[in-house]
Amino acid sequence: MEEREDIETLLREDEVIYPAKNLIENAHVKDYEQIYQRSLVDPEGFWAEAAAELEWFQPWEKVLHWDYPFAQWFVGAKCNIVHNALDRHIKTWRRNKLALIWEGEPGEVKVYSYLQLDQEVNKFASVLKGLGVKKGDRVTIYMPRIPEQVMAMLACAKLGAIHSVVYGGFSGEALSDRIVDAESRFVITADGGYRNGKVIELKNICDQAVSRIPFVKSVIVVRRVGHQVPMVAGRDQWYDELINSPLGSANVATEVMDAEDPLYILYTSGTTGKPKGVMHVHGGYMVGVHRSLKWVFDIKDEDTYFCTADPGWVTGHSYIVYGPLLCGTTSLMYEGGPSFPDPGRWWSLVEKHRVSLLYTTPTAIRGLMRSGDEWPGRYDLSSLRLLGTVGEPINPKAWRWYYKTIGKERCPIMDTWWQTETGMFMITPLPCLALKPGSATRPFPGIDVDVVDEKGQPVGANKGGQLVIKRPWPAMLKTIYKDPDRYREVYWDKIPGVYATGDSARKDEDGYFWIMGRMDDVIKVSGYRLGTAEIESALVSHPAVAEAAVIAKPHDIKGNVIIAFVTLKASSSPSDEMKQELIAHVGHVMGPIAKPAEIRFIDLLPKTRSGKIMRRVLKAREMGIPEGDISTLED
């Protein structure tokens, strides 16, 4: 499959799809080239103009202070992202517009106007404040995809507290590590959540995590599934009881924040075992997220926008929670996945809620493509006007299926390249741009990217190299929480003078970027970002395992799967049961998304003489391709 797709890419990469005239005429941006060129001549002017579309309590003295590699955006300004996401809108006609349409996996629907959402956030903020949450405090949110998850995030930001959302699919151990790193004294969870017809027992998992952490003082539990869960006296409280108590009724003012004050921490995998706490701030982040969503999805007042991600990932932070609200749009949030109870679920949502903008992942598209055209064929998808994809490279075959079968060749596809760290779209089409299937196309205005070699020299057209960002941008991560040295080392010391993305890419003769994939020890499985080191240390934490090395193997639907090579201690012997036990163990330590597809028992791992595992050799063997230079191999 991989090889066939490569050939297909080569043969078809000259395919260009030009935007329809009416699309350009009505778009926020009609001439990409002109705006892009101008934005590079005066990036600070460009971002100042973007910032002026939002409200500030106090204007900035300086757009950018760049003290390599630490940037300060909108220096001296006062603001709060929640003021722009909610407070600003309820002063206008928009107060009665729907902010959020939510559908649960079992099918119930809840809607909130901007005014109602603001009232709910106010109640949540009142509760948090009453429990002692203050500006700068970290609050960990471990929840299913329900409206209260969004409200909890906004309530934290309203108070100036820093939220740390942990995806509801992570294990208790992963949750515990993140609570400890963030030193969160407050945790918000739910009694459970629905996933493919089953209940995920979030509160039980949360209890396992929190029982080991003495400094957690308060656990707020939202009722979702109605399960009986143990409540620890003095620590755990039901959210519905709290809002109906005096704690829930205060009128909470939106906190005045410095533009550079932290908004959230979001943990993501890197090349070492420990997840990094990527930190974003109020000011620059809101400017970047607002402008990028407005322009790329060409947000209009009458749109209904559906992003299928989970708020637990950056896509959800930027483009389910903050971006759509900053743009004043109506967004649909759905609790479940694409294929339950059948592969028509998302298409039924598009029809029912008249979705006009749909944003999803290549893995989902490939999976739905495999389920057959009859599923989308059963529903009226004519409300769609624009499509998007994110998370991993989209192969041209899946691109064309999305374009033809879902968009009926009417809807351009925005293939958005970005990262947890970038906070916002970085390489992406705008609706006025000609598209090439499989290419994320051009940099967003104000963003300066290139493909270079290890020394930072541009490699030139159509040559592979490292994708780098050449100057600061407003939604960039501020730092890694509590670890500014690691921030410098990981992103800014690898190649002198630029931000190293960790991706390899190629730029063609038209300046179109083709993302090839990760170059480091990060693996993308179904678009989820996992570190090889984390999975390896999960394996080694099993008593039978002596050593482990994992690699990514290309997969038709998931993009990649994980193959783990394991040497067992002398006291244990290889068996199918042992394989299953190790796979389950990784699921238990990290969460189901990190489970290896295969365990291969091996007597000795290939290592260099200095003891480094040669994953390259393992990968070559797994793929049945030449092993390359093995002169450094020890044995």
Binding residues (CB under 6 A) for ligand WT7: these are 268, 314-315, 390-393, 415-420, 440, 501-503, 515, 518, 524, 529
Residue 392 CB neighbour total at 10 angstroms: 22
Distances, alpha carbon 84 to alpha carbons 64, 155, 356, 377, 399, in Å: 21, 14, 23, 39, 35
Q: Residue 74 or residue 313: which is nearer to ligand WT7 going by CB?
A: 313
Q: Residue 338 or residue 606: which is nearer to ligand WT7 going by CB?
A: 338
We find the least distance from the C-beta atom of residue 619 to ligand WT7, in angstroms, to be: 17
Distances, alpha carbon 169 to alpha carbons 176, 310, 325, 605, in Å: 13, 10, 25, 31
We find the least distance from the C-beta atom of residue 514 to ligand WT7, in angstroms, to be: 9
We find the least distance from the C-beta atom of residue 393 to ligand WT7, in angstroms, to be: 4
Residue 199 CB neighbour total at 10 angstroms: 15
Report whether 289 contacts 299 (CB < 8 A).
no
We find the least distance from the C-beta atom of residue 27 to ligand WT7, in angstroms, to be: 20
Q: Measured between alpha carbons, how far is 515 from 393 in angstroms, rounded to an integer?
A: 6
Q: Measured between alpha carbons, how far is 89 from 328 in angstroms, rounded to an integer?
A: 7
We find the least distance from the C-beta atom of residue 563 to ligand WT7, in angstroms, to be: 19
Q: Residue 371 or residue 504: which is nearer to ligand WT7 going by CB?
A: 504
Sign of CA dihedral 84, 87, 88, 90: positive
We find the least distance from the C-beta atom of residue 525 to ligand WT7, in angstroms, to be: 11
For 19-45, b/e burial (b = at least 16 CB within 10 A) is beeebbeebebeebeebbeebbeebbe
Q: Residue 126 or residue 439: which is nearer to ligand WT7 going by CB?
A: 439
Q: Residue 175 or residue 390: which is nearer to ligand WT7 going by CB?
A: 390
- 51 burial (CB, 10 Å; 0-12 / 13-18 / 19+) is buried
Sign of CA dihedral 274, 317, 139, 57: positive
Helix ranges (DSSP H) in 13-113? 21-26, 32-41, 43-51, 81-82
Q: Residue 82 or residue 414: which is nearer to ligand WT7 going by CB?
A: 414
We find the least distance from the C-beta atom of residue 265 to ligand WT7, in angstroms, to be: 14
We find the least distance from the C-beta atom of residue 258 to ligand WT7, in angstroms, to be: 26
Residues making up the chain, counted from first to last? 635
Q: Residue 130 or residue 592: which is nearer to ligand WT7 going by CB?
A: 592
Q: What letter would DSSP give residue 491?
A: I
76: helix, coil or strand? coil
Q: Residue 529 or residue 615: which is nearer to ligand WT7 going by CB?
A: 529
Q: Residue 128 or residue 505: which is nearer to ligand WT7 going by CB?
A: 505
We find the least distance from the C-beta atom of residue 381 to ligand WT7, in angstroms, to be: 22
Q: Residue holding tokens 């396992």?
A: 208
Task: Please name the residues in contact with 404: beta carbons below 8 A apart, sequence gap of 6 or more.
Answer: none
We find the least distance from the C-beta atom of residue 451 to ligand WT7, in angstroms, to be: 14
Residue 377 C-beta-side C-alpha neighbours within 13 Å: 6
Q: Residue 162 or residue 278: which is nearer to ligand WT7 going by CB?
A: 278
The full DSSP string for 213-255 is -TT--EEEEE-SS-------TTTEEEHHHHHTSGGGG--PPPP
Q: Measured between alpha carbons, how far is 154 from 148 in angstroms, rounded to an integer?
A: 10
We find the least distance from the C-beta atom of residue 350 to ligand WT7, in angstroms, to be: 21
Q: Residue 89 or residue 145: which is nearer to ligand WT7 going by CB?
A: 145
- 74 burial (CB, 10 Å; 0-12 / 13-18 / 19+) is buried
Q: Residue 148 or residue 392: which is nearer to ligand WT7 going by CB?
A: 392
3-state helix, strand, coil in the chain (%, to 5): 35, 25, 40
We find the least distance from the C-beta atom of residue 80 to ligand WT7, in angstroms, to be: 24
